[in-house]
Structure 1
Amino acid sequence: MEEQPISTQPDSQAPPPASDEGHMAHLTVANDASESSNGVVPVHTSPTVSKPKPSSRSGSVAGGSPRPSLSRRPSACPEAPQDGSKPRDYLFLAILSCFCPLWPINIVALTFSVMSRNSLQQGNMDGARRLGRNAMILSVVSILGGIAIIATALFFNWGLILKS
């Protein structure tokens, strides 16, 4: 037999209780220990066994996972400051690289730089260092590639002008 919840609110399907000589209707109050926030006693159900969630692909320990993922390990970077100083995010360099004509690479550099700043704000120093280093490398590649593209375009353009 299923237990019905007891409510302090009138049931919309049940007929209103009869009142005696103008007195108010009888009001049933549930036990405070078993009452939930909405005034309804919870229905007792059998406990269910939940499956652990599959681990995420990001390499972090997922909730309910008994072991950490082996796909990503903290990087040991000898050039990174080990004194606990704030890792750089190279945001200015990434913004500067956006003016170069190597669009896909400099947009990714800017994204890595912003992600590095967010990781630092969340307290993930290793992730902030790694993402900042990736932002710096991509920004430098974008700037150097942009300079090479501009120099090549100028060289061929001046060559055509001098020939005529």
Structure 2
Amino acid sequence: RKHAQAARWSQTVLPILIRPFMRWKREQASSHRSPSFPEHGIVNVCSCMTHHRTLKVVCVSIEGMHIASPICYDALTYKQLMEIGYFPCAPVYPTLAVSLDMLELVSILFVHSAPNERAWAVTITKYLKNRGHEFSTGDSLRRWFAAALAQYQVL
């Protein structure tokens, strides 16, 4: 299963994400803005008005945790998330997505210090908890974050 997922990332997902990622990099360089979510914390990623598979993705950023839903069944989940500034933890049916800003920050940090996804996951969990966002499975956050970070760095 791990090999199949790695192959999907490298052969399918990452090549498709190159254009939206480069667009995001250009926008960031020119506007210096972060992804924003509405007050209630839920963003509707798709507006095609067709039947949707119920898929809610927890989106983690420095600003807090948000839910992206519904994710369009007919479109590529990872591309939809990238277009709103988030990178998924898995190529199919992700449960967590991390803001591109946060992944960029951590990538720069890990260049200048020893990489420690566990310490970062504990730190972000406590940071979000202090801001009123509870994340119930800390170890899962660490694994999901590490997966997203690894693929982001390949991209």
TM-score after normalising by structure 1: 0.22
Name which one, 1 or 2, has greater alpha-carbon Rg: 1
TM-score after normalising by structure 2: 0.23
Higher helix share: 2
Higher strand share: 2
